[in-house]
Structure 1
Amino acid sequence: MPELARRFTTVTAEAEVTGDPWLSRPRVLGDHAAPVAVLLRAEVRGIEDADGRRVRTRTPVLLIVDADVPAPEERAVGLRRAAPPSAGAGGNRPDGRAAWLALVPSTRLQVGGRLAPALTGGDRTAAVLRVRVRPKPRIVAGPNGPQRLAARLRAGLREATEGLPGDARALLPGLVVGDTSRITPELDHAFQETDLAHTLAVSGSNLTILLALLIGPPGLARQAERRGLAPRLGLSLRATALFAGALTLGFVVVCRPDPSVLRAAACGAVALLALATGRRRSLVPALATAVLLLVLYDPWLARSYGFLLSVLATGALLLLAPGWSEALRRCRVPPQPAEALAAAAAAQAVCAPVVAVLSARVSLVAVPCNLLAEVAVAPATVLGFAALATAPVLMPAAKALAWCASWPAGWIAGIARTGSALPGAGVDWPGSWAGALALAMVTVAVVLAGRRLVRHPWWCGVLGVLLVLLVTRPAPLTRVITGWPPPDWRFAMCDVGQGDATVLAAGEGAGVVVDAGPDPALVDQCLRQLGITRVPLLVLTHFHADHVAGLPGVLRGRSVAAIETTGFAEPADQAEFVRREAAARHIPVTTAAAGEERRTGPLTWRVLWPPPRDRPPSTGMRVPQAVPPPWPGGAGFEPDGPNDASVALLVRTGGLRLLLLGDLEPPAQQALLRSSSAAGLAGVDVLKVAHHGSAYQDPELIRLAAPRVALVSVGAGNPYGHPAPGTVAALRTGGAVVLRTDRDGPLAVTGTGGGNGSVHVTRGN
């Protein structure tokens, strides 16, 4: 298989699906969003190349199914799909993507496509198979009985949670059975930032909670006065053990018997056994035995970071947490909080070096976020599993249970969002094994110092206050220490890579945002550093992905009064994305047109471009029924593409005159020079250079604007050569100071402007 992949051979393959399908992450490539595909892990059982040579094999591959691939035909008798995960239909066939997402593990497929090498060496995937439209994919055998039952239960849970609030609807299936199909990239980022990502996957704690519900407090498991459901049902110890075994087996089937679930079941059982017997140290050999058996079952686990983290966390609970809990109790911490704090701190201390290798980041809020979330994990899990079991027989009761579970699930999501929104939620760290070793040494030093400091409450209080200040980073204190942003800033250009995101100061905590960049996390971080909590207006100059894909980051935790866009609704998928995000938050969307003037706080601005449409532009704040229709050709100008339909603004603030040109190219720039607005463009203080400083600029417009400062938003090492040397030279020849985000980082403009005034630009850190 790898040899065929190296030759990019076209083959016909029979493959068995081994995991739940999922959608690829949205990515921005240049100015457009990469198409989202369905991904499936499968095992190829037979393959035929173009020469007719057939080979029987058992080789793991990754299937990539693009949006235009039709749904697989069902030719086997008695095939039934589970209800698809929450995903819209895609491609030319409205049922294609949903049908692929609904495939159940153990389903046999026959597909044609082209093989390609796996992206990373040493991975458990031998090759990548991109499925083609021809020959048409078909199902040759349906899933086995246990997988059909598991799919029915999982589909019932999805149906029961359908009417819940957004975060609970997305999170509850993940907490219960590891179904993350509804988790948005924004919510996933919040869980990653707070080290709560383990709650989105099935872990040993899920099984431990269920078994504890059955047998009661683990310490009483072998005693006559044991609690839980088993003694109330009259079950003997032997019957309880058998029932617990059946429960564990059902857990594995429903949550899919892949290695990660088997790992969770084994490690969760070991942790429960340790608590039940009270002989934690003697059970380290039991943990080692479980690890050995799992690695023998699936040798690829030896290369799995997830497996390593699970083993480390379980080992920390067995070896470190008891001693730390005892030390906290000696310092008069109540027993239950002491155990919870010791468990969270021990797991974080041991796992943090490995997490740093994966994310090049260390979370400073992981322990408190895990402590706060832990109180809700058990009720959410128990109620979620109750809804799962009830859904096939009594859906109204399942929906009621899911509604009850939505409260703790919403609490967990709220903790993740709140923690990740803190300015100092994490610090960057070298993402290498040398960095992991350094972090391990720092952790040991902190633990040793903590053993001494715990005896001095005053020092603990002082360090606690300093940690809170480091995490919250109050804007006045941060400004004094770092100098960013300057206290009287008027205009800021965020460093969002190859894209645009700028902010105009509109009062305390308020800013008019112009474009959102390609990455929600980067624009959100920039706005947090600037202290922006309220956005009177968000202007999206045009619908290219490098200007609008970061929209969720602008909306995250901020009130946005309105969104203004261009009337040229192309690319259509990004225009629809903006409309959908705005509608979900009930934000009105209006269309900009030349001649429109507005004011908010110290800001006034005039729309210079695009020209008026055939019908007068809307100046109110009513929500249109949809994104504006394609350009009707107003004012005799027909744009050649989205760039030439960009919204361009002339802004006045504090004496400064700023010209923001979006991504206008020479045809639109020349038309702007011929318009009635041209006279007001002469001698601006600041120019936001069009189209990331590309070579496509009209020299006459640069000469007329004659900016004192020219700012270029551009990504480091971009493949387009932005900014073009000729454009930079033309700006400097006209007397402009040229600054660019790829070299200078985020930029903030202050000053009074005008002939006798001054303009200052501060570089961010």
Structure 2
Amino acid sequence: MRPGSRRAAGVVGGATPPGAAAADGSSGRPVGDSQPRQEGPLDLRLVPPALAAWGTAALALDAPPRWVIAAVVVCVVVAGALLVTWTVRGQLTGEGAGSGQGRGRRATRRPSWRRVSVAAALLCAAAGGASAALHGADLHRGPVPELAREYAHAEVEVEVTSDPRLTRPRVTGAHAVPPSVMLDAEIVRVTSAEGKTAVTRTPALLFAEDGGGDGDGDEGSGDAPARDAPAHEDPAYEDPAREDSAEPWPKERWLGLLPSTRLRFRADLAPPLPQSDRVAAVVRVAGGQAPRVIEAPSGPQRLAGRLRSGLREATNGLPPDARALLPGLVVGDTSRVPPDLEEAFRATDLTHLLAVSGANLTIVLALLIGPPGLAQRAERRGIAPRLGVSLRATALIGGVLTLGFVIVCRPDPSVLRAAACGLVALLALGTGRRRSLLPALATAVLLLVLYDPWLARSPGFLLSVLATGALLTLSPQWSAALQRRGVPPRLAEALAAAGAAQAVCAPVVAVLAARVSLVAVPSNLLAQVAVAPATVLGFATLAMAPLAMPVAKVFAWCAGWPVAWIADIARTGAALPGSGVDWPGGWHGGLLLALATVGVVLVGRRLLRYPWLSAACALLLLLAIVQPAPLTRVIAGWPPLGWRFAMCDVGQGDATVLAAGDGAGVVVDAGPDPVLVDRCLSSLGVTRVPLVVLTHFHADHVAGLPGVLRGRSVGAIQTTGYQEPPEQARFVREQAAAHRIPVSRAVAGERRRAGGGVLDWQVLWPGAEGPGAVSAPEGPNDASVTLLVRARGVTLLLLGDLEPPAQRALSRTPAVAALPPVDVLKVAHHGSAYQDPGLLRRTAPRLALISCGRGNSYGHPAPRTVAALRAGGAEVLRTDTSGAIAVIGPPGGSAAGSADEKTPTLRVATRPP
């Protein structure tokens, strides 16, 4: 027998036969049974105190101090009175009870314990209120809040309290707002413009703009503009005095900062946004300066920084998705995750994999201790028992691993929450029982809320607690019910866990996102297959990187396969046409979804009795999610038969698809959102793209390019010759290079065909002064590639974002001067007020299409533009009200360019948003 196995096997005085498991007295089942049942009723005694502290902390964070003090005093006084009454009654009951009245005494005293429970809840509520009041006071204490309200300029000394991260790039019309560095910090000293210095501890949010460098970031990601962090620790930490430089810091220097670093710099202070309730001020580093490093980070933080940077370095050679996700899965480092992949994880409810999760620690602990069912048996498996380590020593090692996990992954609220959930799982591994888990979860919630009351208002914390509670309460019952109906045990456990977590978390997600994911459960089921190997190999990479980088790279390469699987699941699920449905937001929407979920669960219990009916319902749900083209064409009329052109609903931007044969389409512009254009192309059944034409480089026309390239065969990309804005032009080149797609420039007069002649087009603009030379326009809009398209008898004029000067110049070109009225006009610049009336009269379209976003801040389309088009006899359709629009030509339309179809019949199909 291995050392320590006597106690593990439950052997007492040799009474247990060899090979038999000890029985647990409360359940009558062997300790460590692989399928432990719930041992008696749930122990809910600690739940009311935890909920009381949670609710009080959430209310007291911004409540008036006098109200909080009064509430705390009342709770303490009432709790004291209840405890005193309970003590006195217990003494009287004990003195008057005879030896033969033990059962009656217990019956008499049991109701008095309810007083203790109420008193405990009141005391925890008082503690939660007091802690929240103290933390909330930090937002109002000292001179910083007043300076922020005055938008003052001051010299500040801050201590970094989080890892720097880049803000998410945002598309605002023409430009993608470049990301800036954001980090949490505490202002420890502030000197106002009048020279007054004060020492304080005020939480703040620090923003720093890129002060230099080429701005290229991490090249070759193939998914979005780079959001990479440096692959090595900033060597300046070895000598803080070296940072006394007058040169502004580039983005990479800011991203190299570690928590506990102290900086001093001149800053502009501003009040935070209303929803930013954890900070007292927003601090922006004044331009044209470099901060001075006053104090280097602590030793543990530097060690953690080296481990994290080693993990990033080891993953540098992986494919883009795996390279981005592995550090996030292991240590919560999401600095490389591109926005489109992040959106895909959000759409499939897989975002818990991007943040540090208790599951990460649980997997490592399970590898150490072994399966939960064998945790207290001599036959237990795992690294520790194979090395002969006793249970006590194993528990100590597990605690050390948990501490290291917190340090490496940073002790911010999400990591602390994950560590608490990991310790709950450690308790399950050590006991093999479920009954003790709810009290442990309640204790973790109570301690975390008292430590950091801001968690009481954190949606992530709420979702984490709800998911863990569902796994401890609902999941075992649902798993048992599925197994009774013939579902294999492992599949039943996986289905029950995913379904229970989704059932309790979906109403909260609906409150926040006003959307319900239909692919969340299958996506989580499929992703869980790869989570364990990816996590184990990722932690092996983390541990080996400082010791042997070649070995770490091998581990990272092995981990790249399961991580790529997870990324593919997220991208595929998000791209499905029926991946989610819009739902009313706010608490009323969450309550409505909760009621609907209860109804689905009740109906589902009855459906399980009828396997064929259950299978039919599952098939209907699958069809609603996948929405195969033949079925949706019959039910929804999309995509319509014989469509010639389609204008995608991509928000405030442009994306048009020209039909070029079965499964093929020429894409003109890609819109601002990769997910939206990907969904549009998938709904149209486009799998091959002979050519992508980008009319100009504004972000609302090119930022969605990764969505066009994903999973499709793309022949070439053609662009305008005017390379402005330069960052967006560089982005297009990087995307093309990552996918090995040639890039060329469109030249006026060029003619091309696709689809065996069913589609042809001519480039009308920009004008050329010579072979390959492009005349210098006044701006990117006037450099828009303009196309005249003919598709089986239907003509379409695509104007890009041309402004009136370029429109007038275009109307004077020989090609347009001889142009007869067109059938369809893609109105320039999303239907803005700036249109040339002469060009509108010359083209005289029968149908005018406008691509614009719902509720856009530009006022597109302009009422006078719509009125002018209608006055000219055009029917006007717009994506903000009609959704995606498809133009259908005459049945069996004539060959492109023939003269026998001068007024073809046009029909239109729409897909409402």
Fold match, TM over 0.5?
A: yes
2:426 and 2:182 mapped to 1: Cα distance?
Answer: 35
Task: Find the residue that maps to 1:659 and give its secondary structure.
Answer: strand
Equivalent residue in structure 2 for 1:439, among 569, 573, 593: 593
In the alignment, residue 542 of structure 1 is paired with which amino acid? H
Taking the aligned partners of 2:198 and 2:385, their CA distance within structure 1 comes to: 56
Structure 2 Cα separation of the partners of residues 690 and 535 of structure 1:
24
1:529 to 683, 705, 709: 683
- The residue type paired with residue 45 of structure 1 is V
Q: 2:640 aligned with 1:486, yes or no?
A: yes
Q: Distance in 2 between matches of 1:111 and 1:288?
A: 43
Contact 1:689 1:711 in 2 (8 A): yes
Indicate whether 1:757 and 2:904 are aligned.
yes
Amino acid in the other structure paired with 2:856: N
Asked whether the equivalents of residues 533 and 558 of structure 1 are also in contact (C-alpha less than 8 Å), the reply is yes
**2:211 touches 2:248 (CA, 8 Å); kept in 1?**
no
| SS across alignment from 1:281 | coil
Q: Is the Cα–Cα contact under 8 Å of residues 501 and 513 in structure 1 kept in the other structure?
A: yes
Native 8 Å contact 2:366 2:429 kept in 1? no
Tell me, yes or no, if the aligned pair for 1:218 and 1:272 is still in contact at 8 Å: no
What residue in structure 2 maps to residue 11 of structure 1?
154
Alignment of 1:210-609 (within 5 A): 210-601=364-755, 602-609=758-765
Structure 2 residue aligned with 1:41 = 184
Matching residue's letter, 1:24? T
Structure 1 residues 23 and 396, CA, compared in 2 at 3 Å: closer, same or farther? same
TM-score of the two chains, using structure 2 as the length reference: 0.78
Residue 651 (str. 1) matches residue 798 (str. 2): no
Q: Distance in 2 between matches of 1:75 and 1:52?
A: 30
- Paired with 1:699 and 1:78, the residues of 2 have a C-alpha distance of 66
How far apart are residue 322 of structure 1 and its match? Answer: 1.1
Q: Give the structure 1 partner of residue 71 of structure 2.
A: none
- The answer to whether residue 305 in structure 2 is matched with residue 151 in structure 1 is yes
Structure-1 separation of matches of 2:541 and 2:864 = 65
Amino acid in the other structure paired with 2:812: R
**2:204 matched to which residue of 1?**
61
Contact 1:670/1:701 (<8 A) preserved? yes
Which letter does structure 2 place at the counterpart of 1:356? A
Where structure 2 has 5 or more consecutive residues not aligned to the other structure, the ranges are 1-143, 214-229, 894-900
Q: Is the 8 A contact 2:248 2:289 kept in 1?
A: no
> Shift in Å at residue 666 of structure 1?
2.2
Aligned 1:693-712 pairs, distance under 5 A: 693-712=831-850
Q: Residue 75 of structure 1 contacts residue 140 of structure 1 at CA under 8 Å; is this kept in 2? A: no
Higher CA-based Rg: 2
1:310 alignment partner AA: S
Deviations 1:361-398 (A, max 9, x none): 21112112211211211111111111111111111111
1:648 is displaced (CA, Å) by 0.5
Q: CA RMSD in A?
A: 2.2
Checking the alignment, whether the CA contact within 8 Å between 2:642 and 2:888 is kept in structure 1 is: yes
For residue 69 of structure 1, report the CA deviation from its aligned partner.
6.7
CA contact (8 A) 1:76 1:140 kept: no
Q: Distance in 1 between matches of 2:437 and 2:401?
A: 22
Deviation at 1:609, TM superposition (A): 0.7
Provide the C-alpha distance between the structure 2 equivalents of 1:277 and 1:73, rounded to a whole number of angstroms.
44
Local SS of the residue matching 1:427 = strand
SS at match of 1:188: helix
Secondary structure in 1 aligned to 2:680? Answer: helix
Match of 1:745 in 2: 883
> Contact 2:349/2:517 (CA < 8 Å) preserved in 1?
yes
Q: Is the 8 A contact 2:753 2:759 kept in 1?
A: yes
Q: 2:741 and 2:798 mapped to 1: Cα distance?
A: 24
Does the residue aligned with 2:908 lie in a helix, a strand or coil? strand
Deviates more, 1:337-346 or 1:384-393: 337-346
Q: Give the SS at the match of 1:513.
A: strand
Partner SS state of residue 666, structure 2:
strand
CA contact (8 A) 1:274 1:318 kept: no
> In 2, distance between residues paired with 1:409 and 1:716?
36
Match of 1:713 in 2: 851
Alignment of 1:111-150 (within 5 A): 111-121=265-275, 123-150=277-304
Q: Is 1:733 paired with 2:871? A: yes
Change (3 A) 1:282 1:511: same
In 1, the alpha carbon distance for the partners of 2:808 and 2:378 equals 89
Quickly say closer, same or farther: Cα 1:69–1:47, change in 2 above 3 A.
farther
Q: Distance in 2 between matches of 1:763 and 1:243?
A: 62
> By how many angstroms is 1:181 displaced?
1.0
Q: Structure 1 residues 327, 716: CA separation in 2 closer, same or farther (over 3 Å shift)?
A: closer
* Closer/same/farther in 2, CA of residues 574 and 605 from structure 1, 3 Å limit: same
Helix, strand or coil at the partner of 1:490: strand
The correspondence of residues 88-103 of structure 1 with structure 2, limited to 5 A, is: 96-103=250-257
Name the structure 2 match of 1:30.
Answer: 173
CA deviation digits over 1:309-357, x for unaligned, max 9?
1111111111111111111221222222222221111111111111222
8 Å CA contact retained: 1:709, 1:736: yes
CA contact (8 A) 2:211 2:249 kept: no
- How many Å separate the matches in 1 of 2:834 and 2:860? 11
Deviates more, 1:498-507 or 1:565-574: 498-507
Quick one: which amino acid aligns to residue 511 of structure 1?
Answer: G
* CA deviation string 1:71-126 (max 9, x = no partner): 99998764599xxxxxxxxxx98971111001111111112221122123362122
Indicate if the aligned counterparts of 1:666 and 1:697 stay in contact, CA closer than 8 A: yes
Question: Hey, what's the Cα distance between the residues in 2 that align with 1:570 and 1:212?
Answer: 54
CA displacement at 1:40 relative to structure 2: 0.9
Q: Displacement, 1:495?
A: 2.1
Contact 1:69 1:133 (8 Å CA) reproduced = no
Alpha-carbon distance in 2 for matches of 1:122, 1:412: 32
TM-score (norm 1): 0.93
Match of 2:124?
none
Counterpart code for 2:185:
A
Q: Which moved more, 1:215-224 or 1:346-355?
A: 215-224
Are the aligned partners of 1:106 and 1:143 in contact in 2 as well (CA < 8 Å)?
yes
Q: What letter corresponds to residue 531 of structure 1 in structure 2?
A: G
Task: Mark the CA change 1:295 to 1:151 in structure 2 (over 3 Å): closer, same or farther.
Answer: same
Task: For residues 282-303 of structure 1, give each alpha carbon's deviation from its aligned partner in whole angstroms, at most 9, with x where no partner exists.
Answer: 4312211110100111010001
- Residue 565 of structure 1 deviates from its aligned partner by 0.5
Native 8 Å contact 2:266 2:286 kept in 1: yes
- The one-letter amino acid of 2:660's match is A
Shift of 1:198: 0.7
Change over 3 Å in CA distance of 1:192–1:669 after alignment to 2: same
Question: In the comparison of the two structures, how many residue pairs are matched?
Answer: 737
The residue aligned with 2:318 is 164
- 1 CA distance for matches of 2:396 and 2:429? 19
Check conservation: 1:540, 1:647, Cα contact below 8 A. yes
Partner deviation per Cα, 1:35-67 (whole Å, 9 max, x = no partner): 221111111111112111222211111111112
The equivalent residue for 2:91 is none
Gaps of 5+ in 1: 82-91, 618-631
In structure 2, relative to structure 1, the CA distance for the partners of 1:239 and 1:79 (3 Å cut) is: farther
Alignment equivalent of 1:664, drawn from 796, 802, 810: 802
Name the SS of the counterpart of 1:681 in structure 2. coil
Quick one: distance in 2 between partners of 1:509 and 1:214?
51
CA distance in 1, matches of 2:204, 2:804: 48
CA distance in 2, matches of 1:44, 1:491: 57
Classify the secondary structure of the residue corresponding to 2:768.
Answer: coil
Give 1:180 deviation, angstroms: 0.8
Are 2:698 and 2:728, in contact at CA under 8 Å, matched by a contact in 1?
Answer: yes
